[in-house]
Amino acid sequence: MKKYMLPLSLLLAVSAAAQTNAVYPDDFTDGKYLGKQVKITNHTYVISYVSDPYLAEFFPRAAGETVADHNSDEYNAISDRNHDTDMRLHVSLLPSDETPTPLGTQYASLVLNMTDGYENWGLYDWMYYEAQGRGPDIIYPTAQPVFPDATLLVCAANLRWYMTTLGNNGANTIDQFNLQSTKITKAMAAISADIYAFVEVEQNAGVLDTLANRLNSFLNTPGKWAAVDRGITDASSTYQSCGFIYNTLTVKPVGQYDCTISGGYRNRSPLQMFEETASGEQFQLNCLHLKAKSSYDDYEEERLEQVGKVATSLKNNAYRDPDILIVGDFNSYSAERPVSYLESQGYTEELKRYSPEGYSYRYDYNNMAPEFGYLDHVMSSATMSAQVVGAQAWHLNTSYKDYDYAYNKTNDDSMKRYADHDPVLIGLKLQKAATAISQLQVPHTAVTVENGMLTIKGVEQQVSVWTISGSLVTYAAGNITLSLPAGFYLIKADNDIHKVILK
């Protein structure tokens, strides 16, 4: 049967009387629309490809219905309903500006000529059609998130085994590695973040330098992009890890890269302080990668143990700056315990706050309806949350199937499907330290508080500040000014020890 798509101009010429408005699936129970032109009035989403790459399933959902997390009651209810009401349509014939149509595309007022079909359990679940046009409000999932109030942009991204060592889960050949690098580089250039926090990169001395250099070469910006020194001396380690690349013109790393903030895996939860060049404001960025699920074990208990250790380490490091942002691949959906544990510790999940209907990962299994949800998260401390002005995943990857775009399946060199997780973008507007310090309960002439900042006058002596647990906060000569969270501290200045309670 020959199928075709009429131009939109011809669609506009079709008289209103020739069209029949219908709600899918309620009105499709007796085949009454076969041979007629139908305008589907409910919102319809492309949600998965089946075995034929030119087919997609459509799940009709109410406009604004949330994408539920895996295994939630809401997800199971939607999944059960959709399995009973799915409608398969030829992607190649859908009115679209992209081929194949990106998964997650939303149609309103989709117009079809119903040409054939068969009855199955009272529903026409397979229908041949000729696509005639679309409503004016087609929504693609691939629009780049924009945060107008942000002065800094952070991108958290899983790179799906970016390994310079060939044949070790990543690229198997140099051609594959070059193609993978090109796709990632194009995505980075389009995102244009100030800081990239990467997951699943090889743990060797030069892999992130390689990627930063490729970005500089692609944009013709020598020296603009640099990798944070991870202190790795082993050039051959093939273990996966995390790391940072940053824009040297807008931010700078402060202090050493700390790979001891760990849940048991070295370089799977690094902590780095960054300073915004324009404002001089600083914050701590933790890139976290928790243990993955598998087909035989969920490993949630292990992930919960990991995140507990990380939370404790970050709490002990809050004296550096209470503004803490945790990003990365938690391998946990939003309702799972690793996320809820961090929320119980005072962290805010910014994706729930700014993009609750979104997702960063699509799980496909045996051509069944996929599972959508957040495996990647953005958690901010109380003081940091006030400085987050947006968070959203950009569906560069979940909207496209591996066999159409992946570096090891095709020769496509676009940024589409550069990995399996979507990049998550976070907009920041850093502010002056909003600490809880307002007064000294035990004052001393050498120690003063003004505008939430602690100033210690050491005159000619060395000054050191210690937490009550014995951790050294800072050590310097002369006067120092600090932003500290409320708490109990020991200050050594002018050969005296001062006990200070900051409230």
Give the model confidence (pLDDT) of 59-80 as tens digits. Answer: 555 544 555 565 667 666 666 6
Q: Which residue has the higher pLDDT, 450 or 352?
A: 352
| Nearest CA among 381, 377, 286 for reference residue 326 | 286
Task: Collapse the DSSP code of 370 into the 3-class scheme (helix H, G, I; strand E, B; otherwise coil) and give the result.
Answer: coil
pLDDT over 50 at 30, yes or no: yes
With beta carbons less than 8 A apart as the criterion, state whether 484 and 502 touch: yes
pLDDT over 70 at 191, yes or no: yes
Q: What does the alpha-carbon distance between residue 463 and residue 308 come to, in Å, rounded to a whole number?
A: 33
> Could you give the number of structural domains in the chain?
3
Which residues are CB-neighbours of 431 under 8 A, at least 6 positions away?
A: 281, 386, 387
Which residues are CB-neighbours of 13 under 8 A, at least 6 positions away?
A: none
Question: Are residues 424 and 343 located together in one domain of the fold?
Answer: yes
| Angle, helix 337-344 to helix 300-316, in steps of 10 degrees | 20
Q: Kindly state whether residue 267 falls inside one of the protein's structural domains.
A: yes
Question: Are residues 322 and 451 located together in one domain of the fold?
Answer: no
Task: Collapse the DSSP code of 174 into the 3-class scheme (helix H, G, I; strand E, B; otherwise coil) and give the result.
Answer: helix
Q: What are the distances in angstroms from CA 192 to CA 30, 158, 215? A: 52, 16, 10
Question: Are residues 102 and 193 located together in one domain of the fold?
Answer: no
Q: In which element (H, E) is residue 244 found?
A: strand 240-247
User: What pLDDT sits at residue 159?
Assistant: 96
Contacts 24+ apart (CB under 8 A), 53-56: 53/91, 53/100, 53/401, 53/403, 53/404, 54/90, 54/91, 54/92, 54/100, 55/88, 55/89, 55/90, 55/91, 56/88, 56/89, 56/90, 56/91, 56/94, 56/100, 56/101, 56/103
Question: Are residues 264 and 325 located together in one domain of the fold?
Answer: yes
Residue 404's identity, in one-letter code, is D
Residue 76 belongs to domain spanning: 8-133
Task: Collapse the DSSP code of 373 into the 3-class scheme (helix H, G, I; strand E, B; otherwise coil) and give the result.
Answer: strand
In the structure, what pLDDT confidence band is assigned to residue 349 with cuts at 50, 70 and 90? very high
pLDDT over 60 at 151, yes or no: yes
Q: What does the alpha-carbon distance between residue 446 and residue 489 come to, in Å, rounded to a whole number?
A: 14
Q: What is the mean pLDDT of residues 486-496?
A: 68
Q: Kindly state whether residue 442 falls inside one of the protein's structural domains.
A: no
With beta carbons less than 8 A apart as the criterion, state whether 145 and 425 touch: yes
Question: Are residues 225 and 110 located together in one domain of the fold?
Answer: no
Q: What is the mean pLDDT of residues 93-112?
A: 78
Question: Are residues 382 and 471 located together in one domain of the fold?
Answer: no
User: What pLDDT sits at residue 384?
Assistant: 92
Question: Are residues 246 and 219 located together in one domain of the fold?
Answer: yes
> Which segment, 34-38, 365-369, 471-475, is predicted with the most confidence on average?
34-38
Q: What does the alpha-carbon distance between residue 43 and residue 40 come to, in Å, rounded to a whole number?
A: 8
Q: Which residue has the higher pLDDT, 447 or 275?
A: 275
Q: What is the mean pLDDT of residues 263-275?
A: 80
Q: What is the 3-state secondary structure (H, E, C) of 245-286?
A: EEECCCEEEEEEEECCCCCCCCCCCCEEEEEECCCCCEEEEE
User: What pLDDT sits at residue 13?
Assistant: 32
Q: Kindly state whether residue 416 falls inside one of the protein's structural domains.
A: yes
> Which segment, 109-118, 290-299, 307-316, is predicted with the most confidence on average?
307-316
pLDDT over 70 at 97, yes or no: yes
Q: Which residue has the higher pLDDT, 483 or 300?
A: 300
pLDDT over 90 at 227, yes or no: yes
User: What pLDDT sits at residue 327?
Assistant: 97
Which residues are CB-neighbours of 294 under 8 A, at least 6 positions away?
A: none
pLDDT over 80 at 20, yes or no: yes
pLDDT digits (tens, 9 = 90+) for 388-422: 999 999 999 988 888 778 898 899 999 999 999 99
User: What pLDDT sits at residue 154?
Assistant: 98
Q: Kindly state whether residue 3 falls inside one of the protein's structural domains.
A: no
In the structure, what pLDDT confidence band is assigned to residue 37 with cuts at 50, 70 and 90? confident
The upper half-sphere exposure of residue 276, i.e. CA atoms within 13 Å in the direction of its Cβ, equals 18
pLDDT over 90 at 427, yes or no: yes
Q: What is the mean pLDDT of residues 435-453?
A: 51
In the structure, what pLDDT confidence band is assigned to residue 51 with cuts at 50, 70 and 90? very low
Q: What is the mean pLDDT of residues 203-214?
A: 91
User: What pLDDT sits at residue 63?
Assistant: 47
User: What pLDDT sits at residue 439?
Assistant: 43
Task: Collapse the DSSP code of 421 into the 3-class scheme (helix H, G, I; strand E, B; otherwise coil) and give the result.
Answer: coil
Determine the length of the chain: 503
In the structure, what pLDDT confidence band is assigned to residue 124 with cuts at 50, 70 and 90? very low
Q: What is the mean pLDDT of residues 32-60?
A: 68
User: What pLDDT sits at residue 466?
Assistant: 76
| Lowest-confidence pick of 113-122, 153-162, 391-400 | 113-122
pLDDT over 60 at 122, yes or no: no
pLDDT over 80 at 339, yes or no: yes
Question: Are residues 229 and 315 located together in one domain of the fold?
Answer: yes
Question: Are residues 121 and 256 located together in one domain of the fold?
Answer: no
| Nearest CA among 430, 451, 479 for reference residue 322 | 430
Q: Kindly state whether residue 139 falls inside one of the protein's structural domains.
A: no
Percent of the chain with pLDDT over 70: 66
Q: Kindly state whether residue 147 falls inside one of the protein's structural domains.
A: no
What DSSP designation does 229 have? P
One-character DSSP codes across 299-352:
-HHHHHHHHHHHHHHHHHTTTT-S-EEEEEE-SS-TTSHHHHHHHHTT-EEHHH
In the structure, what pLDDT confidence band is assigned to residue 11 with cuts at 50, 70 and 90? very low
Q: Kindly state whether residue 350 falls inside one of the protein's structural domains.
A: yes
> Looking at residue 339, which CATH number applies to its domain?
3.60.10.10
Q: Which residue has the higher pLDDT, 451 or 165?
A: 165
Q: What does the alpha-carbon distance between residue 140 and residue 45 come to, in Å, rounded to a whole number?
A: 10
Task: Write down the mean pLDDT value for the chain.
Answer: 78
Question: Are residues 72 and 112 located together in one domain of the fold?
Answer: yes
pLDDT over 90 at 502, yes or no: no
Question: Are residues 129 and 156 located together in one domain of the fold?
Answer: no
In the structure, what pLDDT confidence band is assigned to residue 34 with cuts at 50, 70 and 90? confident
Residue 36: Cβ-neighbour burial (10 angstroms; 0-12, 13-18, 19+): middle
pLDDT digits (tens, 9 = 90+) for 370-380: 677 899 999 99
Q: What does the alpha-carbon distance between residue 415 and residue 424 come to, in Å, rounded to a whole number?
A: 15
User: What pLDDT sits at residue 287?
Assistant: 95
Question: Are residues 85 and 210 located together in one domain of the fold?
Answer: no
| Nearest CA among 354, 379, 376, 365 for reference residue 422 | 376
| Lowest-confidence pick of 68-82, 240-254, 275-289, 326-340 | 68-82
In the structure, what pLDDT confidence band is assigned to residue 120 with cuts at 50, 70 and 90? very low
Q: Kindly state whether residue 436 falls inside one of the protein's structural domains.
A: no
User: What pLDDT sits at residue 210?
Assistant: 94
